Amino acid sequence: MIYSSLVIKFTILYIISYSYAQQCEQTSNAARFNCHPENNPTEATCETRKCCWRPPIPQTNATVPYCYFPTDFPTYEIISNETTDFGQRIRIQKLQTTYMPHDILNLTVDLIYETQERFRIRIYDTIYRRYEVPLQVPVVEKRATDTDYEITFSAKPFAILVTRKSTGVVLFDSSIAPLIFADQYMKLSTRLSSPLVYGLGEHRQPLLINVSAEWKRLTFYSRDFPPVENINLYGVHPFHINLERTPDNQTHVHGQFFLNSNAMDIDLQPLPAITYTTIGGIIDLYIFTGPTVENVIEQYWAVIGKPAMPPFWSLGFHLSRFGYSTFENLWETIKRMHDAEFPYDVQWTDIDVMSSSLDFTYDRERFQGLPGLVRGLQSEGKHYVNRLDPSISSTQPSGSYPPYDDGINREIFVTKYNSTDPLVGEGWAGRTVFADFTHPNAVEWWTRMATAFYESIPFDGLWIDMNEPSNFVDGSHDGCTANALDNPPYVPHVLGNNLSSKSLCPSSQHYLSFHYNLHSMFGYFESQVTNTALKTIRKKRPFVLSRSTFAGSGQFAAHWTGDNRASFQDMYYSIPAILSFNMFGITHVGADICGFGLDTTEELCTRWMQLGAFYPFMRNHNDLGQKDQDPASFSWEAQQIMKQALLMRYSFIPFWYTLHYEASMNSKTIIQPLFFEYLNDKNTYNIDQQFLIGRALLISPNLVSQTNTVDVYIPQDVWYEFSSGVEIETVGQFITLNAPISKINVHVRGGFIIPMQTPGANLILGRGNPFSLLVAPSQFGNASGNLFWDDGDSIDSIGTNTYNYFEFTLTTSNTLTIDPLSTNYKDSPMRLDLIKVLGVSKPVTQVTVNGKVYPNYTYSIFDQILIIHGLDMNILVESSQIIKWTTST
């Protein structure tokens, strides 16, 4: 009996051991999906979760999980499936709970065939309604047909497979890891089509997230912290683009957007695969099938909203700093910029101008002359922007500070958990409460406060900072609760390891929901409210700059990349950040030129001013205690180089402005990585030290100190050097270009016609200056371009059709046609003075304008450039105008 009993026990142990080994067998480390994403997992805690514990073999990467899911981990199976008007509704259930508390066993899955190119997966609790992101997204009730995606699914275990019909490439496959859906912990994994991923912001990282050989975790939870790698930063944009190689060796693109505003981790691994782990809401995932990058962007923006058309003046050069400290220092900066004759449009001030750092105030002693200064700038065509924080001082004498008193009366502040008392934290103004911009009274309250300040200082735009929201204490002065909102069972890998770290208690309450759900949307709602307030106050197109952003913020605000530092590395990282934010639909974006923290150097600031001249939003800004870095504060030689960069920017303003129109109307990014346009050229996939503007200009800055050359890639195409106009001969390869301190390399792409304008002292003063056209023929001798023009300030000039719009076309017969498609804005002269045609390989013998011989032209056989000058042509006419030239045979 004893022998038999031992045999049975050993047999059982062998079966269990064999079963464990079988369920835990993995052919590669890359196929492991993390069952213990918290820090410091142990074998004991892993096995408590009924997961596999094995060191990776070989141990080549410390991020490979030791604890991973077995193949028999409990998951969901289909119990019903019905066809609906929008697609399919599937009920799934799980028979046993797993390791996270409050595991939800019954779920509903909606498969929504939204458009021919856009598919949506929604997974939610069948019984209880959960928080959902309050973003106004399209509601599709009728199923799209003739799609380029095909959906299949398995019943047990439940999984979804999405493939591209035209190629068979897998776009989404959730069978690779278990679906987990607990009250405060949801995890969904899917296979990637390739390890080449772009997007997933806001993080400081290169443009390409290449997971072919590494594991990477990105955390999403808005946070006030100077940009460094591997931490969560100011904004949340869980959108990515993934390249896919087709069977015929072409490259297609698709995208995914995880619509969720709770704290989350997104893990990427070399399988390749992506895992979304969030602690609230529902699983709401969009798949955009492209197949081009431009298609994906258009499909994504159709969900989140297109970027707003900015005011014309905001495209100029902006100057700011924290630390003017006195009116005299501010005035001295403005005066030396004027005396040095720098083009410049917008003057900013920071919190040092405020009285005791209080919103909607200015220090009437240190900045006594500020109202007059602002009005004086405006009389010269310049503009003024001041800063606001969402934290409102709670310690001013009763009745003395309307933002607090009126806010209390309107119950406008974020409150403590289960209380009507405002949560009290700490900001620049000391003890503060925090505005709840989701409250129905928020617009009226914010507008009322801003209007009162506007009557003293007529600002032109508003800069909303510290809106992650930032708090100088963790949670509140009273601490946070012990409940599950403040202490969830899983905390994504946020900086500080606590959701309340330097922000608000997650349990604090907004009008719409708990801060736990809305934290990362704080800046989004403040941008929306501020945008509305500015329209009411100024009756003009609003300009709002926001540090914290969420998907869709581009409808309301511009963005800058935060508190960078004066270093060449920071200058480099500004490029992938700005390229990514263009993907995210926030096209009016820039970085603090010359660096915010640390003292800049003349070399760095000169290089950065050259690069910054090609940011969509161009602002020079630095920190308290750092030396002045306005362009006029440097040597005469540096000033001349910076001035040339600014003049180049200002000459391109018609082009920039038209690009913003294209973004707001036609969902086109303003600046692009090279791979957007050269998708089948693998050399472009990892390039983020060069970029394209409007697909037509290639910018190749020098980002390395003490060097006079730059290594660049010139795609296979026709390219002309901007400064000389000469076509370059070496294309389709990496080359070295001269890049002394006086030069930034700019190349014009063949096939484009770029509208330009003679610069003025600022954009308003230069609006009536003559226009010119830069014509760059393609290899086939054709080119095209366009120009949008309005008053630059009206809220809805597009909707009211009060604008001018022209299309330019060059044909192979040396004929340039200007077609006026709309000429309803007549209040500003639009005269074309000069046309510069590049790549004219044969001598020009005659030029005609509208059928008449025109004598004012020059042609250089050496440079192959035709210049038609002195035109003084009014293009605000009803009919097309035609310029032709004849060449010798």
Q: Which residues are catalytic?
A: 465, 468
Residue of 889, 789, 885, 884 whose CA lies nearest to 831: 789
Report d(CA 763, CA 769) in Å as an integer: 10
Cα angle, residue 523 at apex, residues 763 and 411 outer, rounded to 5°: 120
Helix, strand, coil percentages, rounded to 5, for the chain: 20, 30, 50
The Cβ-side half-sphere exposure at 223, using a 13 Å CA radius, reads 29
DSSP 11-72: HHHHHHHHHHHHHH--S-GGG--BS--SSS--HHHHHHTT-EE---SS---TTS-SEE--TT
Nearest alpha carbon to residue 119 among 300, 273, 386, 323: 300
CA dihedral of residues 481, 483, 489, 494 (deg, nearest 10): -30
Q: What letter would DSSP give residue 606?
A: H
Contact (CB, 8 A) for 629 and 594: yes
- For 378, list phi and psi in degrees, rounded to 5: -65, -35
- Nearest of 681, 690, 713, 745 to residue 578 by alpha carbon: 690
State the maximum Cα–Cα separation within the chain, in Å, rounded to a whole number: 117
447 within 8 A of 533, measured Cβ to Cβ: yes
| Parallel, antiparallel or unpaired: strands 783-789 and 118-125 | unpaired
CB within 8 A of 314, min separation 6: which ones? 345, 346, 383, 461, 543, 558, 588, 617
Return all residues near 182 (Cβ < 8 A) that are at least 6 apart: 98, 100, 101, 102, 103, 104, 489
* Distance between CA atoms of residues 757 and 769, nearest Å: 7
Measure the CA–CA gap between 413 and 268, rounded to whole angstroms: 38
Q: Which residue from 428, 254, 284 is spatially nearest to 351, judged by alpha carbons?
A: 428
Residues forming beta bridges with residue 122, ordered by sequence position: 110, 284
Judge residue 550's burial from the number of C-beta atoms within 10 Å of its C-beta, 0-12 exposed, 13-18 middle, 19 or more buried: buried
Cβ contacts of residue 160 below 8 Å, gap of 6+?
Answer: 109, 111, 121, 151, 152, 153, 172, 173, 174
Q: What is the rounded distance in angstroms from the CA atom of residue 149 to the CA atom of residue 287?
A: 10
Contacts of 205 (CB under 8 A, 6+ apart): 229, 576
Distances (CA, A) of 793 to 309, 591, 833, 859: 10, 24, 25, 40
Q: What are phi and psi of 691, to 5 degrees?
A: -160, 165
302: left (phi over 0), alpha (psi -120 to 50) or beta: alpha
The DSSP code for 167 is: T
Distance of CA 830 to the CA centre of its chain: 33
Is residue 423 within 8 Å of residue 432, measured between CB atoms? no
Angle between helices 653-666 and 636-651 (to 10 degrees): 50
Which is it for the CA torsion 392, 397, 402, 405, positive or negative? positive
Contact 128, 182 (CB under 8 A): no
- Integer CA distances (angstroms), 608 to 566, 580, 649, 865, 877, in order: 10, 19, 13, 31, 41
Contact 789, 656 (CB under 8 A): no
